[in-house]
Amino acid sequence: MEKTLRITNVLCKIMRFTYVQMALLVLFGSISYAHDSFSQDILNQPVSINAQSVEIKKILTDIEKQTTAKFIFSNSTIKAAHKITFSAYSERLSLVLTKLLTPLSISYEVVGSRILLKKMDIRTGSVEETSEVVIPEIVKPVQVIAFVVNGTITDETTKEPLVGASIVLEGTNQGTISDENGNFKLELADNEKNGTLVISYVGYEKQSIALEGRTNISIALKEAGTLSEVVVVGYGTQKRSDVTGAVSKFKNERLDEAPVSRLDQALQGKIAGVQIQNISSEAGSTPRIRVRGLSSINAGANPLVVVDGHPVPDGLSFVNAADVESVEVLKDAASAAIYGSRGASGVILITTKGGKASKPNYTVKMSRGVKSAYKLYDIMTASDWVKLLFDEAALKSKDPSVPPLTAIQIAPLEDRAGYVIEQELRGGQSTDWQDVAIRDANVMNVEFGVSGGNKDLKYYVSGSYQNDQGMMIHSEYERFNIRSKIDAQLNKKMKLSFNINPSYIKRERPAELFQDFVRFRSWLPTRLDEKTAAWVSANPLYADLKPGDWSQARYFSGRIYSGTMPDGSAWTSGTAINPFNTANQTPIFSIEQQRITTDDYRALSSGDLTINLFKGLDFKTLASAYTSYSKGLNFSKRDATRAGDVNKGVYDDRINIDLLSESTLNYKQEIKKHSLSLLAGFTAQKTNVKDQRVTGLDYPSDEISTLNTALTVDKSGSFNTINNIGLISYLGRLTYAFDSKYLLAASFRADGSSYFAPGKKWGYFPSVSVGWIASNENFLKTVGWLNNLKFRGSYGASGNNRILDFAFVDLLYNANYPFGPGNGTSTIGQIPSRDVLSNRDITWERTFQYNGGLDLSVVKNAVEVTLDVYQSKTEQLLLRQSTMAFSGVPFTWNNIGSLQNRGVELDITTHNLRRKNFSWSTTANISHNNNKVIELGNEALILNQGERTELYMNKVGAPLVEFLGYKTTGVWVSQAEIDAARADGLNTALTPYFVSGGLKLADINGDKKIDANDRTVIGNPYPDFTWGLTNNIKYAGFDLSFLLQGVQGGDVINGDANYLEIKRTTRIYSKDRWVSPMFPGDGKTPVANVGFQNWLLTDYAVEDASYWTVREVVLGYKIPENWTKRAHLKSLRLYFSAQNLFFNTASGFRALNPEARFSTGPYNTPLIDGYQRGSFPVNKAFLFGIDLNF
Amino acid sequence: MKYLQYITLIFCLALCACNDVIDLYPASNLNTDTYYKTEAEVRTGLNGCYNGLQRPMYREWQFTELRSDNSKQGETGSQSSVNRDLSDLDMFFPSPNNQAIYLYWLDSYNNIYNANIILQKLGVTYDPAAGTNTLGKTDVIVTDSVRKQLAGEALFIRGYHYFNLVRLFGGVFIVHNPVTATEAKGLNRSSVNDMYKIIEADLVTASSFLSAKKVNQIAANDVGRVTRWAAKALLGKVYLTLNRKTDAITQLTDVQTNSGHALQASYANVFSVNTEMNSEIIFAIRYRAGGLGLGSSFGNDFAAASSGATIINGSGQGWNYPTNEFDTAFITTRTPLTYDARRDVNIGFFGANKVPYIKKYISPVVLLNDGESDWPVLRYADVLLLLAEAQGYTPASISLINQIRTRVGLPNLPATVNTVALFEQALSNERRLEFAFENQRHFDLIRFNKTLTTITAEQTIKDHFAKEYAKHYANYPAPRLTLAELQSNVNANRLLLPIPQREIDTNTGLKIEQNPGY
């Protein structure tokens, strides 16, 4: 492949077009070319007529002969018997038509090269020209009108009339369109009275009715089920019934009414096989998305997100949910293979809304709401803690086995000081730092849109503003979106679509983490009051402090404390002590003194042009540019995090330009029972990222944060980098269907990527899938209750190239050093990466997946079921593999091993009630996935460490991540018990655990020696099932939908259990703990401090992360039409929505949020997963909204 | 088909763009594929090795000062994870999972890797059997003398790291050229003997390769680079550690007489940021303040806890407090109470309660952790005292010690120092005060186990626990070790650190032995 490409180099040198130039050339070149056949020109053609009492149809036929125009009309519009006299000489067609038709109350509209004649008073509504609707083309002159059929077209469910439905006599071009009451009238010749009428309407199933001589018929059209719905697949669309892969479609049903700030959050629980996890619930945070489990380790397991054909990495963050028409997820490799090297983790296709041929339709949507913490930690104040210690000491004193305690053993000096401050200095008051950090946050959303157009030009324009204040102080998320989409039918051969979507996101993030608040000392006030100010200013170091000043832990340091203890005894520390030693300022002070803001400007602009070369063959070329500019400022005022901090501004700039050029040829042909489509294409995508950071130091004032005032620039905090990434691809697809029963599809993609070394750049991704629509077989057609039964099977390969840029070569980084006399002069030095060793041979990761599926709908489509089972195997995993640290670099890139995912997904939709005024449907999905490591190169297992050296094991034959640690069997109740165990031969070097009240580590291998060999699997982070259940109920003007969502199984390591700081500020870890041999608590909870040195991971810290929640409830009411009509509105709906009304966690779960996971630092790899501490609370939200159409 | 021309054009354009799109190399970084071709490029790589010396220092004091009688983690009541990890080291029961131990290990080996790249490019190979380094072919365009100079510096750096590693961990892994991940998994621990073999070879070759210029002849731009004298002084210390006293004397005497290094008149000047790289500094790991990313964090790490901005901007962590007993060791006379001049350079006091903290590395900083002070590794005073140690109880040795005492205004050692035991006590004490908080004490104590007859590391540390127990170790709330428990932690095994558990866990093929006692 590369050889052939090199030949073109010569041409390349001659014509060095940039992508932009190229795109513009294609676009504008084509437009100018198309100009001569603009529809307007049809009407400028000269016509001459001289008719004396001639049938009007005759005149029209005459005009057709003279011009390129073709007329479309129904017999009810043009009365055949109507004869007129009319003359014109070489006049423009438009003038002729006006003169001719106006007196007859007929209007006309140009559709391509055709002219549609209509009765003037008929509103055509939103009739759309699609392949689904047969538009009567030429009306055969009726010889003798002997037969008139009258009828009504209605919606089967709602019984409402359908305006603009097409009624055509089968085998002819004769037909008409229903009027605003759904009525139609068709005049036929006598010999046609036994013909068949074909009725079609957009969004409804086509219906054929034999006339059998009837003159009056009513036809109820069935809304098209999912079968005939159009599904977006890679580089095209398919009818649902033709799909052979595993593709989930989610139509936008009020996605924008959920009180969440992002599209991906709104999709949680709604699509089978797509697990969306809010690993942080802070405003605007990115959730983790996994399609069918984890198919990659280090190469990015996020699905590819494609917005209107352009793969955009952050597509889910900037698209406004209200603008979304549908979201499709390509889940199996066969569907995703068309995206080749980037499809292995699934593909999410976002299709935005476009205009429809109609009068302008205005929509206004406004909502306001409030978010609050569902639950916070049960806080123990410093006083509570000391009381607990004294209570425990009182218990111990009753236990003869406990020797008398020294004062320090009852309670440390520092803790006693905290008690005194809280009880005596602050008069019993304490600070709940959670309340300091968390607030009720306002959320707001305003959207405005207008769409409409005619057959040739359709538009959709919308603007939206969203504001999510964030529950944590100093967090805020604001988004402005504008979207405009224009579709133009340039002439009968060419179609142009143009799309611009600028957006602006402004985000403020808190400078401190919630977990730092949870563990902060309650005795410390946020600001000094009279008494505390008096106390701290007695220290000469802090003599200046006044009431109202911020307080800091160090103000209370270096003092002698004395007071009354909970047992009434008097106590004094004797020497000066530091009740809380920290170099840091209080979190509230730090947060207030810093501003972390980012401004993201993004624009996705694309244009595509489709040219119909000849019947069935379309050429489409698309040029798209995704640009983003992100500007970050992190400004800290003086003393922000520590006393003596200089004020500092970090300015970040990131410019990302991503250009995509795509050309495809699409061929569709239907010959008798054969239906064939072919796709061939070429795409090139080029990404250029420029990052820049400048750090300014020492500003004259905290009030001005622009760099020009900074005294100096911090060299070590400043850089500028450029990165280029490129991808070129050839793709092809064939689909073939025989007799709407047997389906076959095959696709192929070749990708060349800049990520890999020369010679390793190209990867090939084929797929094949088959389908059998059994319900279309004659032997099943007679089964009345069976509407659809389809079996699908597929196999394909998709890939993953998302690794570190240039992992095939070792990069050098600055490592300067001061040489020279005195303080030295910084001299340039370079060393290779300290983090990861390159590997010249690395190449694509490939995932091979089998998928078997079943689609079933029964009882008039009342129950629809989709079932998919799959097995995938990812090979040559791109692995950031731990290496021996003594080799100098702790990790290396490698293509080793393979990973298997197996799973089953079930979607069920039931229409429980389908009445005109009362409908109820239920959609449920449940998926199960399990992954297994098949091979890890030559290794049996890999061990990785988290932040506290807790171990994550990746072992062949087991799920990818398992927690490796010690099992415990309760606590050592007494020293006697330990002595007995030792006498029995048990020994260990882990002496800190062998104390009474310490966790009893299990001797797994039975060698009587507790050591590293006794570590075993104590959990894994993967859920057994994830599920969602949505109910939609409509009754009269009311609509109600609610989503239950849950995750069953899966463990989390709760770091809180190992952090002494959290254990003394929250109640749950000290409840029922071991106190003394006589008072062993529940026998499971260890004594306060013992056993956590060295952060040994035990099952004491592993918890069940299952949960279920009432994720979303939307209750709406549509104001009756007769009221809204008076206000000249089309519709007005009020709604109320809520999130997490109820959130249930597993019984053993001790933290706040089972969805929360650490994902940065060591956790920035799927090899280390399932850890949290001090998790940010789940939020509960309420929203009230208005939805207006006019 | 009138559109065909356009389509053809589009495909042509698309095709011709291909190679441009995917044939890319990093635009912002150099890469090892194309670098190290010229002398200047190799020198830039070598400068990177000097930078690599800085990182291990951030943890080294945790193993050499905390694990001696010099210092302690001060906050017994603190339950912060950092402080507890430090306490574990202080009390001689660190876990193999201790993060600081792993990071020190990693940072040291990372710089060995950097040095190995330079040595490989310069064509230097180490023969493990013979224990020699030889100069082979090189592709670098460089003169022979420059090549030797560059190789000598890199060899010193490698030898220096191995010397620290063998003293902290015992026999560990010998890597003498860049190894691939797969090759690394085939290597196991070496013996202590083999470790010293490569250390000796590196330092011997380095001292022969490096220029014999006296310190005052060194070009200004080269100040701070490894010199022949640094190699020899370190080699002297290596020999002494191996108790090869004669070999040590040869090397140290050469430095004493031929290097041009001398004692500074004032002890304070040795460490002052205004007189860096003074004549006494044979080798130092240099830091540079001023937002260059080259400053040190010692000032902030060591300044008193809760001191706000009174000692240093950004407050102190109080991680490494002098022991109470060490402070009193600076007392010269009890009535009136006077102190050795070195006390004020080394120890400061904070607050009304006069909490002692390490002052030696504190210089004013604008940015947090951006201190200026260099960390002395080898200084002339060290050479003199090592020489005294090598020579043993002789008048010449007494006079060497007296040189050090005179400089700080102390009288000569009294005549009562007239036995080996008393001499050794005086020598040990002098080294302790002179090199306070310079990462020498732990290594000295271990070395004394061999070189001195009356002082052992174990006993010294046990005594230190006894002296500090009531005032410090008894204040740990829980788990509170009794003095006996604390002292029992100190044994020959625990003088070595555990091999990082990650290293043992990562190699699933070879069984790597943990150090005994862990």
> In whole angstroms, what is the distance from residue B371 CA to residue B376 CA?
14
Q: Binning pLDDT at 50, 70 and 90, where does residue A76 land?
A: low
Rounded to the nearest 5 degrees, what angle is found at the Cα of A374, between the Cα atoms of A373 and A377? 80
Residue A105 has what DSSP assignment? T
Residue B124: pLDDT above 90? yes
> In whole angstroms, what is the distance from residue A73 CA to residue A175 CA?
8
Q: What is residue B5's predicted lDDT score, i.e. its pLDDT?
A: 63
Q: Binning pLDDT at 50, 70 and 90, where does residue A879 land?
A: confident
> In whole angstroms, what is the distance from residue A966 CA to residue B246 CA?
52
Among B129, B177, B135, residue whose Cα is nearest residue B152: B135
Average pLDDT over residues A1175-1183: 91
Q: How does pLDDT run across B171-218, given as a tens digit for each residue?
A: 999 999 999 888 999 999 999 999 999 999 999 999 999 999 999 999
Q: Binning pLDDT at 50, 70 and 90, where does residue B31 land?
A: confident
Ramachandran angles phi, psi of A61, nearest 5°: -60, -40
In the stretch 778-837 of chain A, residues with CB closer than 8 A to chain B read: 805-806, 809-813, 815-824, 826-832, 834, 837
Average pLDDT over residues A600-628: 91
In the stretch 956-995 of chain A, residues with CB closer than 8 A to chain B read: 989, 991-992, 995
Q: What is residue A6's predicted lDDT score, i.e. its pLDDT?
A: 44
- Give per-residue burial for B439-464: e unless 16+ CB within 10 Å, then b: bbbbbbbbbbbebbeebebbebbbeb
Q: How does pLDDT run across A43-58, given as a tens digit for each residue?
A: 777 788 877 777 777 7
Asked whether the beta carbons of residue A817 and residue B51 sit closer than 8 angstroms, the reply is yes
Among A851, A1004, A1113, residue whose Cα is nearest residue A258: A1113
In the stretch 193-252 of chain A, residues with CB closer than 8 A to chain B read: none
Contacts of A18 (CB under 8 A, 6+ apart): none
A741: exposed, middle or buried (C-beta count within 10 Å: 0-12, 13-18, 19+)? middle
Question: When comparing pLDDT for B65 and A255, which is higher?
Answer: B65
**How many C-beta atoms surround the C-beta of residue A1037 within 10 A?**
14
Ramachandran angles phi, psi of A24, nearest 5°: -65, -40
Residue B319: pLDDT above 60? yes
Is A21 part of the contact surface with chain B (CB cutoff 8 Å)? no
Asked whether the beta carbons of residue A643 and residue B502 sit closer than 8 angstroms, the reply is no
Residue A337: pLDDT above 70? yes
Q: What is residue A881's predicted lDDT score, i.e. its pLDDT?
A: 81
Among A858, A863, A673, A772, residue whose Cα is nearest residue A242: A772
Residue A39 has what DSSP assignment? H
Contacts of A101 (CB under 8 A, 6+ apart): A107, A108, A117
Asked whether the beta carbons of residue B97 and residue A1095 sit closer than 8 angstroms, the reply is yes
Q: What is residue A66's predicted lDDT score, i.e. its pLDDT?
A: 79
Q: How does pLDDT run across A540-552, given as a tens digit for each residue?
A: 989 999 999 999 9
Q: What is residue A1050's predicted lDDT score, i.e. its pLDDT?
A: 93
Is-contact B282 B379, C-beta < 8 A? yes
Instruction: Compute the CA torsion angle A512, A514, A515, A519 (nearest 10 deg).
Output: 90
For β-strands A962-965 and A1016-1017, DSSP reports them as: antiparallel
Q: What is residue A37's predicted lDDT score, i.e. its pLDDT?
A: 40
**Residue B61: both structure tokens together:** 């004091």
In the stretch 935-954 of chain A, residues with CB closer than 8 A to chain B read: 938-943, 945, 948-949, 951
**Residue A545: both structure tokens together:** 């402090």
In the stretch 103-142 of chain A, residues with CB closer than 8 A to chain B read: none
Contacts of B444 (CB under 8 A, 6+ apart): B428, B431, B432, B435
Q: How does pLDDT run across A773-831, given as a tens digit for each residue?
A: 998 888 888 888 888 899 999 999 998 887 777 888 889 999 999 999 999 999 999 99
> In whole angstroms, what is the distance from residue A1085 CA to residue A321 CA?
47
3-class secondary structure per residue, A214-261: CCEEEEEECECCCCCCEEEECCEEEEHHHCCCCEEEEECCCHHHCCCC
Residue A299: pLDDT above 70? no
* Substitution target from A685, A823, A880, A994 for chain B, most B beta carbons within 10 A: A823
Residue B467: pLDDT above 80? yes
Name the amino acid, one letter, at A204.
Answer: Y
Ramachandran angles phi, psi of B499, nearest 5°: -65, 135
Is-contact A582 B317, C-beta < 8 A? no
| Mean pLDDT of chain A, nearest integer | 85
The residue count for chain B: 518
Range in A90-104, A237-251, A483-497, A633-647 the model is least confident about:
A90-104
> In whole angstroms, what is the distance from residue B271 CA to residue B280 CA?
10
Q: What pTM does this model have?
A: 0.82
Residue A755: pLDDT above 70? yes
> In whole angstroms, what is the distance from residue A118 CA to residue A897 CA?
67
Q: Could you give the ipTM of this predicted complex?
A: 0.95
Q: What is residue A103's predicted lDDT score, i.e. its pLDDT?
A: 67
Q: Residue A763: left if φ>0, alpha if ψ -120 to 50, beta else—which one?
A: beta
Question: When comparing pLDDT for A912 and A226, which is higher?
Answer: A912
Q: What is residue B11's predicted lDDT score, i.e. its pLDDT?
A: 60
Number of DSSP helices (H) and strands (E) in chain B, helices first: 21, 10
Q: Binning pLDDT at 50, 70 and 90, where does residue A34 land?
A: very low
Q: What is residue B19's predicted lDDT score, i.e. its pLDDT?
A: 64
**Residue B219: both structure tokens together:** 């070009």
Q: What is residue A300's predicted lDDT score, i.e. its pLDDT?
A: 72
Tokens 């205005």, located at residue: A362
Is-contact A650 A634, C-beta < 8 A? yes
**Residue A943: both structure tokens together:** 């061990």
Looking at the DSSP bridge assignments, the partners of residue A679 are A666, A733
Q: How does pLDDT run across A950-1006, given as a tens digit for each residue?
A: 889 999 999 999 999 999 999 999 989 999 998 998 888 777 778 888 889 999 998
Residue B485: pLDDT above 60? yes
> In whole angstroms, what is the distance from residue B249 CA to residue B264 CA?
22
Q: How does pLDDT run across B138-151, given as a tens digit for each residue?
A: 999 999 999 999 99
Average pLDDT over residues A866-894: 90
Name the amino acid, one letter, at A1132.
Answer: L
Average pLDDT over residues A701-710: 91
Residue A134: pLDDT above 50? no
> In whole angstroms, what is the distance from residue A374 CA to residue A786 CA?
46
Q: How does pLDDT run across B87-116, given as a tens digit for each residue?
A: 989 999 888 888 899 999 999 999 999 999
Residue A91: pLDDT above 90? no
Measured in angstroms, the CA of B457 and the nearest CA of chain A are apart by 22
Residue A1096: pLDDT above 90? no
Contacts of A733 (CB under 8 A, 6+ apart): A235, A236, A338, A677, A678, A679, A745, A746, A747, A748
Asked whether the beta carbons of residue A682 and residue B18 sit closer than 8 angstroms, the reply is no
Tokens 């008409």, located at residue: A176
Instruction: Please report which helix (H) or strand (E) contains residue A352, including its range.
Output: strand A347-352
Residue A46 has what DSSP assignment? E
Q: Residue A857: left if φ>0, alpha if ψ -120 to 50, beta else—which one?
A: beta
Contacts of A315 (CB under 8 A, 6+ apart): A305, A306, A307, A348, A350
SS3 A528: coil
SS3 B18: helix
Residue A687: pLDDT above 60? yes
The residue count for chain A: 1190
Q: What is residue A113's predicted lDDT score, i.e. its pLDDT?
A: 62
Asked whether the beta carbons of residue A940 and residue B14 sit closer than 8 angstroms, the reply is no
Average pLDDT over residues A1102-1110: 95
C-alpha A1103 chain-centroid distance: 27
Per-state percent for chain A, helix, strand, coil, to nearest 5: 20, 45, 35
Q: Binning pLDDT at 50, 70 and 90, where does residue A128 land?
A: very low
Q: What is residue A785's predicted lDDT score, i.e. its pLDDT?
A: 87
> In whole angstroms, what is the distance from residue A632 CA to residue A957 CA?
45
Is-contact A418 A580, C-beta < 8 A? yes
* Substitution target from B2, B7, B12, B13 for chain A, most A beta carbons within 10 A: B13
Percent of chain A exceeding pLDDT 90 equals 46
Name the amino acid, one letter, at B91.
Answer: M
Q: What is residue A1063's predicted lDDT score, i.e. its pLDDT?
A: 82
Residue of chain B nearest A751, judged by CA positions: B22
Of A712, A885, A945, the CB nearest to B291: A712
Residue A423 has what DSSP assignment? I
Measured in angstroms, the CA of A796 and the nearest CA of chain B are apart by 25
Q: How does pLDDT run across A820-843, given as a tens digit for each residue?
A: 999 999 999 999 999 888 888 888
Q: How does pLDDT run across A442-492, given as a tens digit for each residue?
A: 999 999 999 988 888 999 999 999 999 999 999 999 999 999 999 999 888
Contacts of A102 (CB under 8 A, 6+ apart): none
Average pLDDT over residues A55-72: 78
Residue A17: pLDDT above 50? no
Asked whether the beta carbons of residue A727 and residue B98 sit closer than 8 angstroms, the reply is no
Q: What is residue A119's predicted lDDT score, i.e. its pLDDT?
A: 66
Residue A38: pLDDT above 80? no
**Residue A1006: both structure tokens together:** 């039975």
Asked whether the beta carbons of residue A686 and residue B77 sit closer than 8 angstroms, the reply is no
Contact residues, chain B, for A884 at CB < 8 Å: 173, 181, 184-185, 187, 503, 506-507
SS3 B105: helix
Range in A119-133, B353-367, B402-416 the model is least confident about:
A119-133
- Give per-residue burial for A932-968: e unless 16+ CB within 10 Å, then b: bbebbbebebbbbbbbbbbbbbbbbeebbbbbbbbbb
Range in A236-250, A676-690, A1039-1053, B18-32 the model is least confident about:
B18-32
